[in-house]
C-alpha cells in the first residue's frame, strides 16, 4: 500500500506511533510536536528542546534556483523556527549531509558559509556533523535548545476563546515556489520568502509570554490550525477575509490559476508563527508594536474546525502541505 492510500504523512505518523516506544517520564512533548521537550533531572527552570528537519534536493530546494549559501541559511532558519515556536532559544546544531560523489567542494563550502551565517545570527554553535555519499543532496539537521519552563508554548496549550494570530503574511513562500516551478518571473517579496526566509525568533521573547499555544507555519495555516485543535482538543474558526495577503500574492494567484486565500491556507514554509492568545493579553501584544493579524479563534471541540468564507458560508477547514501530495512538487 502507498502512503497516499492510507491518507498521507500524518496518517502514517499516527500508524507508526503505535509501533514504537514513545512514553518517557521526562518527555513533556514528543511525537506530535515538531520539537521534543525534555524535562531535566537537575534543572527545574529549563527544558531541553530537540528538533530535527531534513531538506531534500529537488523537493525542498533546487541547486539551480538557490545558491548553496541560501540553502544553508534556509536549512538553519527552518530548524531555529521549530525551536522558536516552543518559546525557546537554540544552542547546538548537528549536520548530517548526504552528497553525490562528484559534488564540488566549493558547493559544500558555500553551504557551510550559509549555515555559519545563520548560526551566528542566533548564537548557535555546530556540535558535530557527518558527510555521506548518496544520489542527491540531503541536508539533515538536528538542533538543540532550551526553553524556560514558564515560557513553553505547546500545540496542546490552546484554550477555547483564545484568538488565533499570525505574525505576518501567508502563502508567499509557496507562491514563490510555484512560480519558479512554472519558469515565470517571481516578484521580489515572494522570491525572498521562498529563497531566504527568516524565522521569527525576533518576536519570541514577547509572544511566548503572552501566547498559550504556538506553532510555526511550515505546513500551511489550515494544517497548523488543525494541529493545534487536535492537540488542544478544541474547535476553531478561521475567517477567510482576515487572512493577511501580500499584494504580490494576488498577481501570482492569477498566473497560477489559484485563489490567493487558497494559497495562504495551504502554502507552507513561510516560517511565520501561529499562536493562540487569550483576549486579555491582546492589549499588551498591540502595544508591543509587533506585526500581527488575528485570523480566527479557538472554540469548543464540538464546534469543529471551520473556515468562514467571505460569503459567510462555513466549511470544514481542510488541507495543508503534505510531503506526499502533488502540491509539494
Among 109, 150, 184, 315, which residue interacts with a copy of itself (rule: CB under 8 A)?
A: 109
296 and 236 in contact (C-beta within 8 Å)?
yes
Assess 129 for contact with a copy of itself (CB under 8 A): yes
- How many residues of this chain bind a copy of itself (CB under 8 A)? 81
User: Around Cβ 101, how many Cβ atoms within 10 Å?
Assistant: 7
Contacts of 72 (CB under 8 A, 6+ apart): 110, 111, 112, 113, 114, 115, 116, 117, 118, 139
Task: Tell me which stretch binds a copy of itself (CB under 8 A): 104-112, 223-231, 270-278, 312-320.
Answer: 104-112
Q: Measured from the CB atom, is 24 or 314 closer to a copy of itself?
A: 24
Cα Rg of the chain, angstroms: 19
Chain centre to alpha carbon of residue 242: 20
Give me the least distance between CB of 170 and a copy of itself, in Å please: 22
Q: Residue holding cell 507562491? A: 175
Assess 324 for contact with a copy of itself (CB under 8 A): yes
Among 47, 61, 112, 321, which residue interacts with a copy of itself (rule: CB under 8 A)?
A: 112
Among 80, 83, 115, 222, which residue interacts with a copy of itself (rule: CB under 8 A)?
A: 115
Assess 133 for contact with a copy of itself (CB under 8 A): yes
Q: Measured from the CB atom, is 21 or 289 closer to a copy of itself?
A: 21
Give me the least distance between CB of 203 and a copy of itself, in Å please: 24
Among 75, 78, 98, 317, which residue interacts with a copy of itself (rule: CB under 8 A)?
A: 98
Beta bridge mates, 54: 140
Among 39, 62, 63, 138, which residue interacts with a copy of itself (rule: CB under 8 A)?
A: 138
Assess 302 for contact with a copy of itself (CB under 8 A): no
Chain centre to alpha carbon of residue 249: 19
Q: Measured from the CB atom, is 132 or 184 closer to a copy of itself?
A: 132
Among 39, 66, 120, 172, which residue interacts with a copy of itself (rule: CB under 8 A)?
A: 120
Among 71, 78, 80, 124, which residue interacts with a copy of itself (rule: CB under 8 A)?
A: 124
Task: Tell me which stretch binds a copy of itself (CB under 8 A): 35-43, 150-158, 199-207, 251-259.
Answer: 35-43
Distance CA 31, CA 19 (A): 12
Among 63, 116, 230, 281, which residue interacts with a copy of itself (rule: CB under 8 A)?
A: 116
Q: Measured from the CB atom, is 130 or 291 closer to a copy of itself?
A: 130
Q: Which among 233, 321, 219 has a CA at the least distance from the CA of 276?
A: 233
276 and 163 in contact (C-beta within 8 Å)?
yes
Distance CA 65, CA 187 (A): 14
Residues 49-88 that bind a copy of itself (CB under 8 A): 50-54, 56, 58-60
Distance CA 159, CA 175 (A): 32
Assess 13 for contact with a copy of itself (CB under 8 A): yes
196 and 176 in contact (C-beta within 8 Å)?
no
Distance CA 321, CA 170 (A): 13
What is the maximal distance between C-alpha atoms in the chain?
58
Task: Tell me which stretch binds a copy of itself (CB under 8 A): 21-29, 154-162, 200-208, 226-234.
Answer: 21-29
Q: Residue holding cell 496542546? A: 156
Assess 42 for contact with a copy of itself (CB under 8 A): yes
User: Around Cβ 81, how many Cβ atoms within 10 Å?
Assistant: 30
39 and 29 in contact (C-beta within 8 Å)?
no
Among 126, 181, 233, 316, which residue interacts with a copy of itself (rule: CB under 8 A)?
A: 126
Amino acid at each position: 500500500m502507498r502512503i497516499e492510500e492510507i491518507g498521507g504523512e500524518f496518517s502514517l505518523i499516527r500508524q507508526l506511533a503505535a509501533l514504537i516506544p514513545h512514553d518517557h517520564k521526562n518527555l513533556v512533548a514528543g511525537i506530535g510536536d515538531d520539537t521534543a521537550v525534555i524535562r531535566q533531572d537537575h534543572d527545574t527552570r529549563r527544558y531541553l528542546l530537540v528538533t530535527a528537519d531534513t531538506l531534500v534536493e529537488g523537493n525542498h530546494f533546487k541547486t539551480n534556483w538557490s545558491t548553496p549559501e541560501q540553502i544553508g541559511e534556509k536549512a538553519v532558519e527552518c530548524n531555529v523556527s521549530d525551536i522558536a515556536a516552543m518559546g525557546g532559544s537554540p544552542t547546538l546544531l548537528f549536520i548530517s549531509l548526504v552528497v553525490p560523489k562528484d559534488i564540488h567542494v566549493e558547493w559544500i563550502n558555500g553551504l557551510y558559509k550559509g549555515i555559519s551565517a545563520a548560526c551566528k545570527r542566533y548564537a548557535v554553535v555546530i556540535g558535530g556533523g557527518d558527510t555521506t555519499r548518496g544520489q542527491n543532496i540531503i541536508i539533515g539537521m538536528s538542533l538543540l535548545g532550551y526553553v524556560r519552563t514558564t515560557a513553553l508554548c505547546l500545540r496542546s496549550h490552546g484554550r477555547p476563546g483564545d484568538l488565533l494570530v499570525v505574525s505576518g503574511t501567508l502563502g508567499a513562500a509557496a507562491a514563490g515556489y510555484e512560480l519558479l516551478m512554472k519558469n515565470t518571473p517571481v516578484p521580489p517579496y515572494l522570491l525572498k520568502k521562498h529563497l531566504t526566509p527568516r524565522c521569527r525568533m525576533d518576536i519570541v521573547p514577547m509572544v511566548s509570554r503572552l501566547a498559550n499555544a504556538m506553532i510555526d507555519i511550515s505546513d500551511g495555516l489550515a494544517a497548523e490550525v488543525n494541529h493545534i485543535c487536535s492537540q488542544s482538543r478544541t474547535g476553531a474558526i478561521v475567517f477567510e477575509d482576515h487572512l493577511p495577503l501580500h499584494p504580490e500574492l494576488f498577481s501570482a494567484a492569477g498566473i497560477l490559476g489559484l485563489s490567493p486565500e487558497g494559497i495562504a491556507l495551504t502554502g507552507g514554509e513561510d516560517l511565520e508563527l501561529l499562536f493562540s492568545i487569550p483576549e486579555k493579553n491582546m492589549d499588551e501584544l498591540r502595544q508591543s508594536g509587533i506585526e500581527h493579524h488575528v485570523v480566527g479563534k479557538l472554540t469548543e471541540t464540538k464546534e469543529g474546525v471551520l473556515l468562514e468564507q467571505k460569503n459567510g458560508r462555513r466549511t470544514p477547514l481542510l488541507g495543508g502541505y503534505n510531503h506526499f501530495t502533488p502540491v509539494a512538487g
